[in-house]
Structure 1
C-alpha cells in the first residue's frame, strides 16, 4: 500500500513539474537574446495600471474594418505570425532597463508631425489638415532594410493628431530601423503616442497602449525578403462607439488583425476627432550631423519601384466614412531636397520618397 501511495505521489510531482514547464513555455516567447515577449493575462496587462485606465473596461474588438472599403487592392502586407500566445493572454515585449532608457532618449528626438523644423530630423511625405475633422487613416508602406549607425534612426509612419498653441496630441505607427532602441539593425514595427500633459512613449515602454491581439504585437521585428514587393498596411482609426484609437493590420485576404488601441482617456485633444493626418518617411541624424538613408536609400525616379513608396492612402472623414485620398488636397512635406526626394507616383502608388542622406544634409 505504501508503495502505491509513493508511486502516486511521484507521478503527481512529475506531472506537476511538466505542467509548470508547459505553462512557463507558453508564457514567454524568445526570438533572440534581446527580444523576449511575455504572454500576460489580457485583463492584467501593465497598461491597465495607468491612473487614467484603472476603471477601464477592455474593448476586445472595434466596430469597423478598413478592408471593407471599396476598390480593394491585394498586397503582400500581412505580417507572418511568429508569436502565438495562449487564449486570453497577449504578447508584451519585455523591457530591460537599457531598453527603457534608450526609448526615453529617442522619444525626446521623435518626429513631431506638427512641425517640419525639428532639430536633426528630416521628413518626406504628405499630410492633410484644415479639411477635417478626421477619425483616422490607413496606408500601405513599403518595407526596407537599411544600414543605420547606432546614433541614427530611419522610419516610415502614418499619424493622426491635434494641436492647440504649443500643446499637441498624436499617434504614429509604422516601421523603424533604430539599432540603439531595439538592440539590433533589423526593421521593426512600432507605435508612438503623445497625450495629455506631454505623456507618452514608444510601444509598451510606458503604460497606455492596450494590447488585444495574441499573435500580432504592437512592436516586433518584420520579416524581410528582398524578392517581391513587401510592405505593411496599417490603420489608425477612432472607434465610433468607444472613442478609442485602434491600430490594425489591414488584410485583404482575410479579416483585419486588430492589434490593440490607445484609450481616449489618454488624450485631451483627441477625444472626439483629430485635426491632421499624414504619412511619410523620417530620419533622425547623428549628433554630429550625419543623416542616415531614408526609405530604401534611393531618390525617387521615373521608376516607382526603384525607391520607397506609399500607396492606397485612405482617410476616415468626419462622418466615419472611408474616403480615397484624392478627395483631399494633400500638403507635400520635404524639408531637405539636397539629400532626399518626394515625387508623385503613378496609380496605385500615391508617392515615392527617400534618399541616401549623408554628412552635408544639415540639422
Structure 2
C-alpha cells in the first residue's frame, strides 16, 4: 500500500500541474477577449454621444441668429437683439425671404373699463434701461443645456409626458378658470399677478395665463395662450417665466414657444425670461 501510494502521488501531482499550465496558457486569450469587448463598448457609446451633440450644435446654429446687440441679464440669461427679418419664423418655407409687416390697426371698438395709464412691466434684462434697437427683437440665446434637458432636438420645445404623483380627485391638475363667450374678438388682455410658487417635483409646473380659444375641446380646438409659469423641467430653474403657447391648425399637438416660430414686431418683453 505504501509503495502503491508513493507511486501514484507523483502522477496525480503532475496531472494537476499540467492542468494549471494549460489554464494559464488560455488566460491571455480570455483577457484579450474581455478587453476587446470593453473597448467596443467604450468606443460605441461616445460615438452615439458625439452624434447627438453634433445634432444639438447644428440646431443651435439654426435658431441662434446673428444679433446686432447682446445683453447679459442679471439672472444669467443672454439676450440677443436679432434683426426682425432674421428671426426663426422666417426660416419657414412659406415665409422665407419675406420681412415683417407693420402691425395692422385695431378696430376702434370701445372696450369697457379700458384704462390708458397702465404700469409698465420690465423683465430683468431690461431693468437697467437696456433695450433692443429699432428693427430688432429680443431673443434669449438657447444653450446646449436647454436642448439636452429635453433629451433630444426633436423633443425640444414640446411638453414631455412624465408621470406625476396624483394625490387628489383633480387627477393631478388643480386649476381655476374664468371665461367669457362671444361672437367676435379683436383682441384680449389680462392682468396677472406674478408669483414664484414652489413646485415639489421636477416635472410639476405652475402657471397663470390667458387663453383665446376657437372651436371646442375636440378635434377642432385652436388656442393662443400667454402667461407666466414656473417649470423646472423646461427651464432648469424655479423662476417665473413669460411664455406663449399655441396649437397647430386644428391639431391636438401643442407646442411651447421656446424659439420663435411666428413673426414678431417690436417687443418690450421676451418669451421665457424671468420677471424683474
TM-score of the aligned structures, taking structure 1 as reference length = 0.45
Q: Which residue, 91, 94, 99 being the options, matches 1:52?
A: 94
Q: Residues of 2 paired with 1:118 and 1:48: CA distance?
A: 41
Q: Residues of 2 paired with 1:167 and 1:108: CA distance?
A: 23
Q: Which residue, 27, 45, 51 being the options, matches 2:69?
A: 27
Cα 1:91–1:77 change in 2 (3 A) is closer
Q: Which residue, 44, 61, 64 being the options, matches 2:103?
A: 61
* 1:210 alignment partner, SS class: coil
Partner of 1:175: 228
Indicate if the aligned counterparts of 1:39 and 1:86 stay in contact, CA closer than 8 A: yes
Q: Residues of 1 paired with 2:193 and 2:142: CA distance?
A: 28
Q: Which residue, 79, 99, 112 being the options, matches 1:37?
A: 79
Q: Which residue, 249, 256, 264 being the options, matches 1:211?
A: 264
Corresponding residue pairs, total: 192
Residue 183 of structure 1 and its aligned partner are, at CA, apart by: 2.5
Partner of 2:121: 78
Cα 1:62–1:139 change in 2 (3 A) is same
* 2:178 alignment partner, SS class: strand
Indicate if the aligned counterparts of 1:154 and 1:177 stay in contact, CA closer than 8 A: yes
Cα 1:76–1:215 change in 2 (3 A) is closer
Cα 1:200–1:44 change in 2 (3 A) is farther
The Cα offsets for residues 307-326 of structure 1, whole Å up to 9 and x where unpaired, read as xxxxxxxxxxxxxxxxxxxx
Cα 1:198–1:166 change in 2 (3 A) is closer
* 1:139 alignment partner, SS class: coil
Structure 1 vs Structure 2 CA RMSD: 3.5
Partner of 1:146: 197
* 1:51 alignment partner, SS class: coil
Residue 198 of structure 1 and its aligned partner are, at CA, apart by: 4.8
> Whose helix fraction is larger, Structure 1's or Structure 2's?
2
Q: Residues of 2 paired with 1:148 and 1:39: CA distance?
A: 32
The question of 1:162 aligning with 2:224 is answered no
Q: Which residue, 127, 138, 153 being the options, matches 1:91?
A: 138
Q: Residues of 2 paired with 1:66 and 1:193: CA distance?
A: 27
Cα 1:42–1:106 change in 2 (3 A) is closer
* 1:170 alignment partner, SS class: strand
- Larger gyration radius, structure 1 or structure 2: 2
Query: What are structure 1's unaligned runs of at least 5 residues?
Result: 1-23, 111-116, 224-363
Cα 1:55–1:43 change in 2 (3 A) is closer
Cα 1:68–1:34 change in 2 (3 A) is farther
* More relative contact order, 1 or 2 (CA 8 Å, 6+ apart): 1
Cα 1:33–1:77 change in 2 (3 A) is closer
Partner of 1:201: 255
Query: What are structure 2's unaligned runs of at least 5 residues?
Result: 1-65, 163-168
Correspondences of 1:197-276 after superposition (within 5 Å) = 197-198=251-252, 201-205=255-259, 207-223=260-276
Residue 219 of structure 1 and its aligned partner are, at CA, apart by: 3.3
